[in-house]
Amino acid sequence: MTLPRRTFLHLAAGAVCLPTLPRTASAQAYPAKPVRVVVGFAPGNAADVITRLVGQSLSDRLGQPVVIENRPGAGGTLGIDAVVRSAPDGYSLVSCSSADAVNAAIYHKLNYNFIRDIVPVAALASGPLVLVVNPSFAATTVPEFIGYAKANPGKVSYASAGIGTVVHVAGELFKAMAGVDLVHVPYRGLAPAVTDLLGGQVQAIFSTMPPVIEHIKIGKLRGLAVTSTARYDALPDLPTIGDALPGYEVAITFGLGAPRNTPAEIIGRLNRETNAVLADPAVKVKLAGLGVVPSPQSSAQFGKLLADETEKWGTVIKSAGIKPE
């Protein structure tokens, strides 16, 4: 089930101002025990690394441990499903991003609807993807990559963190705009995908920054271009894919969500504390080392971002005919 963009914006904004008088006392005492954050991907994935980094400082501000729980599989939907079915008390959160909002376009039998059942809590960090190849691959630029792929249709493979992930749909958008035939190889997370890229089992990946940036810097992987509209500070020597394919742009924002009906006071507390963590200079430096930048936003602003990305990627998924395995 999908909802119109206007309806989603209404729900996202309204979710943070629902009446919560019966739960005022519990909200004021929050948090009284550890807070669980479910990550729907394997350890080492960008969402996992960023959530753990922010979670360490968030623990200090909340006065309770923030415990990360990995539930990889089905493009992150297993993690979302686990939190949707949890009590809306602020003790079960989920690591989410724009990719989660478009899963309804792929998985038609989900037990939940992301934009209805998850309240945006706070954005954490954002950044572009980067097109990376194994150093043994012939291409050293995007035009060379496109030329090689056109000369060898169906012989160049690119890895992803799973069907329907932003890493996957970024590759499908590239295929459509460049007119090339690449073979998609899905994995259960970016960490195993990058491992196989390092080993030469696949030739390329459109990766988020954290799992690959150090490999690029030391030469174990070759970065060809970033997916932002301008050169990116974390990898300033790389051009943009848009230089070769005008109009190509991909960015991803990672954040936190909570079950529908979580008290507004709790959502507000989590948003304020998360944004305070992102303002910490030490956290900014650590995020920069991962190739991403802090993205402090209100809950409503994060909800609007998810709506905008839903509209964009829903179109790509439908046109590419992406379906679950």
| Residues 119 and 165 reside in one and the same domain | no
Residue among 130, 144, 125, 305 at smallest CA distance from 231: 130
| Residues 79 and 111 reside in one and the same domain | yes
Strands 204-208 and 156-160: parallel
Which helix (H) or strand (E) segment holds residue 222: the answer is strand 222-226
Token pair belonging to 69: 């729980």
| Residues 116 and 256 reside in one and the same domain | yes
| CA dist., res. 259 & res. 84, Å (int) | 5
Query: Confidence band (pLDDT; 50, 70, 90) for 101?
Result: low
**pLDDT tens string 39-54:** 998 888 889 999 999 9
pLDDT at 208: 92
**pLDDT tens string 191-243:** 899 999 999 999 999 999 999 999 999 999 999 999 999 999 999 999 999 99
**How many independent structural domains does the chain possess?**
2
| Residues 230 and 271 reside in one and the same domain | no
**pLDDT tens string 108-123:** 788 888 888 999 999 9
CB 210 within 8 A of CB 291: yes
What CATH number is attached to the domain comprising 212? 3.40.190.10
**pLDDT tens string 58-91:** 999 999 999 999 998 887 889 999 999 999 999 9
**pLDDT tens string 268-315:** 999 999 999 999 999 999 999 999 999 999 999 999 998 788 777 777
If 0-12 CB within 10 Å is exposed, 13-18 middle and 19+ buried, where does residue 154 land? exposed
Note down the domain range covering 208: 128-244
Whether 287 maps to a domain, the answer reads yes
